[in-house]
Structure 1
Amino acid sequence: MKTRALIMVEGHPRGNALLYAKAAKHLGLHPITLSADPARYGYLAAEKIESIHINTNNLDALIQECSRLRETYDIAGITGALDSVYAKVAKLCRHFDLPGPNPASIDQCLDKFAQRQLLGEAGLPIPAYRLAANATDVKSSAAELGLPVVLKPAEGSGSRGVRLCRKVDELTEHTSYLLSGKHIWRSPPRILVEEFAEGPYYCAHIMGNEVIGIEGGELGPPPYFVFRATTCPPLLTDDEHERIADVSLSCLHALGLGWGPTCIEFRWTKRGPVVIEVNPRLGGAPSPQLIQLAYGVDLITEHVKLVIGDELDLRKRLSHTAAARILVADRDGILDWIGGESRAAAVSGVAEVKFYVEPKASIVRKGNIEDCIGHLVATSPTFAETDAILRRAVDLLDWSITPF
């Protein structure tokens, strides 16, 4: 009898991929990671997870490799944690007749311009926007919309290449950065120029057609969009919660989603919840951990169960508050040392203290998710108590960065 395997296309150096592998093992599956650079994911060797070197940008190569693996394993399901491979994951599932999302829906959702068009046609609340291919387009689009505007690549994740531009010189500077070759494009450059939707940040976490929970977030200082803290659930009224949930489900309908996980980002503006982005995947770490601690629903395990055709259990077993503090580097340089991890982890109510980097690492801030060097997660029955736990624990952490 062949061993049942879960195929992961790529992993994640600091995100949910290790949790997927652990969930697979817990469900009796053998996890296998297909990656263009397995050495990039240190946990593969540390956890003795099988990995195969392959060009994950080549769908034909992926099909051939999965066909070869089927000679040895019973492939129960295929999935991935990165935006950059998720469309190929969907196509692999379709090719091998395995449970998975609609490839066309994933493709149009990952194209932020196509996503904006579909949401707008459905009458959903989105920022005003324009598409630009060059500096002249960007300048004229910003003039039409009025400053401030947000410039962002029409594809990508983790706020890479995203910047708030309040003045013309900032607009010119960031346009130059995006088009000069410093930003890595996977296709010809296309820039979204968007109205700045100002207001508190929220994210709806969905499995299938069910909103499991809503998370609130705090971002660092402009012009970038780097998270500093997240809380689940945030302090929302029942009406506010319902409005976010209703718009979220309408987004799924407009984009042809509704299979598997989705996370939808909002800003609460003067006109209520405005959709910033729909991501046809789980939210990045530590969001799934917060959902599990707050509601008792393990989204990663439930996603793996969906991928292999098992029955889901999305019943909420808890009603707690879970929150995270995102640890962000305050300067560029060499990380000399990290201290206080064990003391912070010992604080009652702390669920996880995790650093993504180790001493002697080179720190170069880019104004995106890569500026984050770790996180700390805590939970308790109340919002105030969880916040107090986090404050105590964060005060025990310290590190030193020597400037270059």
Structure 2
Amino acid sequence: MSKKVLILLEGTRGNGLPYAQAAQRLGLHPITLSANPAQYDYLAAEGIEAIRVDTENLDSLIRECSQLRATYDIAGITSALESVYATAGKLARCFDLPGPNPTSIARCCDKFVQRQLLAEAGIPIPAYRLAANATEVEGAAAEIGLPVILKPVVGSSSSGVRLCHNVDELVEHTTYLLSRKHIWPSSPKHTWRASPRILVEEFADGPHYIAEIMGNEVIGITAADFDCLPHFVFRGLTFPAPLTDDEHKRIADVSLGCLRALGLGWGPTCIEFRWTKRGPVVIEVNPRLAGTDPQLVQLAYGVDLITEHIKLVIGGEWSFHRRRSHTAAARLIIPDRDGTLDWIDGDTRAAAVSGVAEVKLYVEPKAPIVRKGDDRDYLASVIAASPSRNQTATILQHAVDLISWSITPFPPLGELEKSSAP
């Protein structure tokens, strides 16, 4: 009998390994197809099979999977990476396998098209405009009113997203995006369109929430907070969020409206909200699981969303059976300066704290620290869980306080030039 295989297109730093491990627990052999497998450290470290292939070329992927099917039984095809998820859906259809509607995924991943569809459906969203050059950006900001958020139309992980309070900041970030210095961290290879597209968006201020959805069911809602503006880098996550029944229902109702408007409802979705004076306002709909949130859901409710997603991918049925009602929380540690990381320690002591589920260090000593304003900035993360929200918060803070580090700032440019002079 042929070995059953789960094809994973690309990977991610957060959920790539958990997807492969969940596949193995289900008796599947995971194979990652990637344009650059070396970028995922966990593949070699865990001995996970990987094949180099152009994951932006559907024909190349079809040929590779056809060759694999001569040896294996391909049980399913999916991805944890948003930028290739529509391609995964197309590839699954080519082999008559379950998957999301690739057209719906592609429309959702284009933030401008997503806004248009949500607005047409009457979903509450921030005011927005599309811009392709500096003049259009300035005009859009004037119409909406400062402050505004500038973000690439395509991308994830808050890469290239910035709050601009005044004209100087607007010009600075517009120049950065239009100069094409912006790097798309979630895509293995990105080809610029003929004209880069920027979304200019009203700043909807208020508490931030994330609806965790599988199929057409809202599993729960995560509360999130950010590090210092003007960038939007998550600092803390708590699941479930401390909401009233009415607040939870309002977010859940708007979430289901988003699914209908965008043609989603198969597999995972996470929807980000701000609770404003208008109530819940949709910031972004993401047709995937969020990075850390699946682990929080599993710790709090005993539901493994990644495993349940894979069950759908291989033609099974997912089940949501809450096994407990705990509170889980994550703290993401972010540096306060650029420079060279001299040392970081305390992770072993933090991991030994009762109630701590995981401690991760993302950076090695002597590595250069250059903050980018997105999720590549993290030094470390700590996750904890307990039967109560207050207890979890206490455990988490105690563990975080045990982690320490030192960063030596880079020398000023002038001094650096002097030191390198002959």
Return the TM-score normalized by structure 1: 0.98
Letter in 2 for 1:155: V
| Corresponding residue of 1:187 | 192
| Corresponding residue of 1:129 | 128
Instruction: Please give the per-residue CA displacement for 1:166-201, whole angstroms capped at 9, x wherever unaligned.
Output: 101110111000001211364321001011000000
Letter in 1 for 2:10: E
| Corresponding residue of 2:52 | 53
| Corresponding residue of 1:3 | 3
Letter in 1 for 2:296: L
Partner-residue secondary structure (3-state), 1:140: helix
**Could you tell me how far apart the structure 2 residues matched to 1:117 and 1:318 are?**
39
Instruction: Please give the per-residue CA displacement for 1:60-92, whole angstroms capped at 9, x wherever unaligned.
Output: 111110111001110000111111111110110
Structure 1 residue 373: deviation in Å?
2.2
| Corresponding residue of 1:268 | 275
Structure 1 residue 369: deviation in Å?
1.1
**Could you tell me how far apart the structure 1 residues matched to 2:293 and 2:191 are?**
27
| Corresponding residue of 1:318 | 324
Structure 1 residue 289: deviation in Å?
0.4
Letter in 2 for 1:10: E
**Could you tell me how far apart the structure 1 residues matched to 2:75 and 2:379 are?**
34
Partner-residue secondary structure (3-state), 2:77: strand
* 1:63-142 equivalences in 2 (<5 Å): 63-142=62-141
| Corresponding residue of 2:416 | none
Structure 1 residue 333: deviation in Å?
2.0
**Could you tell me how far apart the structure 1 residues matched to 2:67 and 2:191 are?**
28
Match of 1:348 among 348, 351, 354: 354
Structure 1 residue 402: deviation in Å?
2.2
Letter in 2 for 1:159: S
**Could you tell me how far apart the structure 1 residues matched to 2:408 and 2:330 are?**
26
Instruction: Please give the per-residue CA displacement for 1:275-305, whole angstroms capped at 9, x wherever unaligned.
Output: 0000001111x21100111111100010111
Structure 1 residue 361: deviation in Å?
2.1
Tell me, yes or no, if structure 1 residue 252 matches structure 2 residue 259: yes
Structure 1 residue 357: deviation in Å?
2.1
Letter in 1 for 2:331: R
Letter in 2 for 1:79: T
Instruction: Please give the per-residue CA displacement for 1:202-227, whole angstroms capped at 9, x wherever unaligned.
Output: 00000000001100001011111011
Match of 2:227 among 220, 229, 232: 220
Structure 1 residue 120: deviation in Å?
0.1
Letter in 2 for 1:19: P
Structure 1 residue 11: deviation in Å?
1.1
**Could you tell me how far apart the structure 2 residues matched to 1:76 and 1:358 are?**
38
| Corresponding residue of 1:301 | 307
Instruction: Please give the per-residue CA displacement for 1:255-289, whole angstroms capped at 9, x wherever unaligned.
Output: 000000000000000000000000001111x2110
What is the root-mean-square deviation in Å for CA atoms of aligned residues?
A: 0.9
* 1:338-377 equivalences in 2 (<5 Å): 338-377=344-383
| Corresponding residue of 1:332 | 338
Identity of aligned residues (%): 70
**Could you tell me how far apart the structure 1 residues matched to 2:179 and 2:67 are?**
42
Q: List runs of 5+ in structure 1 lacking aligned partners.
A: none
Q: How many residues align?
A: 402
Partner-residue secondary structure (3-state), 1:400: strand
Match of 2:298 among 292, 314, 318: 292
Tell me, yes or no, if structure 1 residue 43 matches structure 2 residue 42: yes
Give the stretch that moved more between structures: 15-24 or 182-191.
182-191
Letter in 2 for 1:250: G
Structure 1 residue 355: deviation in Å?
1.4
Tell me: CA distance 1:358–1:34, structure 2 relative to 1, closer, same or farther (3 Å).
Answer: same
**Could you tell me how far apart the structure 2 residues matched to 1:366 and 1:48 are?**
31
* 1:5-24 equivalences in 2 (<5 Å): 5-12=5-12, 14-24=13-23
Structure 1 residue 311: deviation in Å?
2.2
**Could you tell me how far apart the structure 2 residues matched to 1:341 and 1:169 are?**
41
**Could you tell me how far apart the structure 2 residues matched to 1:56 and 1:255 are?**
25
Return the TM-score normalized by structure 2: 0.94
Partner-residue secondary structure (3-state), 1:33: strand
**Could you tell me how far apart the structure 1 residues matched to 2:57 and 2:220 are?**
36
Letter in 2 for 1:4: K
**Could you tell me how far apart the structure 2 residues matched to 1:347 and 1:183 are?**
40
**Could you tell me how far apart the structure 1 residues matched to 2:199 and 2:348 are?**
44
Partner-residue secondary structure (3-state), 2:379: strand
